[in-house]
Every structure is written in structure tokens, then in C-alpha cells.
Structure 1
Amino acid sequence: MKLFFNALIGILLTACSQAQPTDTPQVQHGYLYKVEPAIPGKEVYICGQRPFNAAGELVGPGNLGLQTQQVLENVKASLKTINMTMLNVSQVTYFVRGDSTSVPTGSAQALSSQATSYFAKLPDIVEIKSVSKNVRDDVLVEIEVVAVK
């Protein structure tokens, strides 16, 4: 009986490792939680957006402005997958690497200058939070948004 189960597990593992989905969407860096986005008034949560490009490479090491631009591009791409745009964003939260007590003035200015080029109208709620650590030491910013259909 044990030999049968070991053989069965081996067959299943081989089959699973060889299975290749044909319509696998490109994986974004971050999470997209959608709650009935096709229904007007429903919210979509996009969390953990980080400054990685489509190849998974960090964009703009040491440059908060470039990293913010890449993260906003990632948010824009995530929204596009569910037929939404930056105009649907009602709340944005920036998590900026710092001393976790306050956001440096230069950081706030860099975020603000990038935001104006992505948001025709700033979201109703904008928060900037200083965090002592991000997923990696070279990641300076992470963004989450709430969008409403």
C-alpha cells in the first residue's frame, strides 16, 4: 500500500510540474484585491505595489522619485486589468522608508511631484507614512490604493 501511494504521489508531482497554463497573465509585483469591480460603487484594493519593473528588477536604486514613478506605473497597470484608471482612485497611502517618526520634507516633495503627473485630481485621502523597514533595504517606497468603480 505504501508503495502504491509513493508511486501515485510521484505521478502527480510529475504531471503538475509539466502542466503549463496557456493564458497565464503577467504577474504584477503587489496584490490586487477586487470586490465586484464591475458593479458601480464597489471598491478595489491594490496593496504592496513596489518599484519593480516587468522583469522584476528594482527601478531607481536610491532615488525616491524614480521609485515612486515606477510604483505608480504598476498601480496604473493593475487598474487597467480591471478596466479602471487613476481617476477611480479615492485613497492612496505611501509607505516611505525613514526613521518611522516623521516623513522627511524632501520625501514628501518627491511624492507630491510624481503624484501630480499621475492624478488629474488628487484622491480624497492621501497619507504618507514613514516606516523603518520595507521588504528590502533598497526599496524606498511602497504604495497601496483604494479605487471605486
Structure 2
Amino acid sequence: MVDSLEEFILTRRKLPLWLALLLLLVAAGLLAPLIYFAVRANSEACLDGLRAQTECQGLNQHLQRQLHQAQEVLHEKEAEAATCNQTVLTLRGSLKKEQAQGAELQGELKILNQKLKDALAEVERLRRQSETSSKNNASSCSGFLFVVVAFLVLNAPLP
């Protein structure tokens, strides 16, 4: 087993040289594009793009904050509108009740006006009847007075 271990170590020492050459070629092949992309990434246009991206992100965050604030205000205004709508509905209900009561009172007022007209007509009729009766009483009284005067004249002693 020791012999096989020594052979393994010897063969392994020979492989790293080939492997090292292969790795060197691969590293050189990868290093050239890496250097190329590193130079391009640090170019002025790329840095301008990075600044523009950062600026856009800042502007985007600012716009998102404004949108959030606008949505909060919208929710508040919607709540206020719902309260106002409820108030309007309540006031409309009250108005309908008041209109119904007003119509009922108008009906009662018409009935009372008719009763008043009837009472005034009755008063006028009674006044006329009273005037007629007082004229009859006056003529009866004047007739009675005439009879009394005539009786006195006829019964008076003659000189």
C-alpha cells in the first residue's frame, strides 16, 4: 500500500504541471474578458448610467412617498364623503318627515279655515236675524207707543 501511495504522489506531481499549464491558459482566457469588462464598467458612460440609475431610484422613492401620501388623503376624503353622504341621507329623511307634517298641517289648516268661514257665515246670519228682530221689536215698540199715546189722548179730560 505504501508503494501505491508513492506512485500516486509521483503521478500527482506530474499532473500539476499539465494542470498548471491548463489552468494558466484558462485563467488567461478568462482574465482578458474580465479586464475588458472591468474597463467598460468603469468607463464614463457606465458611471453616468450608474448615476442616472441612482437618481432614478431616488426620484422613484420620492414619487412613491407622494403616491402614498395622496392615497392616504384620498382615503381620508372618501371617509369624509361617506360621512357627508350619511348626513345627507339623514337630512333627506328628516326633510321628508317635515314635509309630511307640513302637508298634514296644511290639511288641518284648510279644515279650520272652512270651519272659520262657516262660523263667520253663521255669525252674519245671526246678526241679520238679530237686526231683523230688533227692527220688528222697534216697530212693535213704536206701535205699542202709538197705542199708549192714543189711549192717553183719548182718555185725557177735555176742557
Task: Give the alignment's TM-score, normalised by structure 2.
Answer: 0.14
Bigger fraction of residues in strand: 1
Compare CA radii of gyration and give the structure with the larger one. 2
Bigger fraction of residues in helix: 2
- By relative contact order (CA 8 Å, sep 6+), the higher-ranking structure is 1
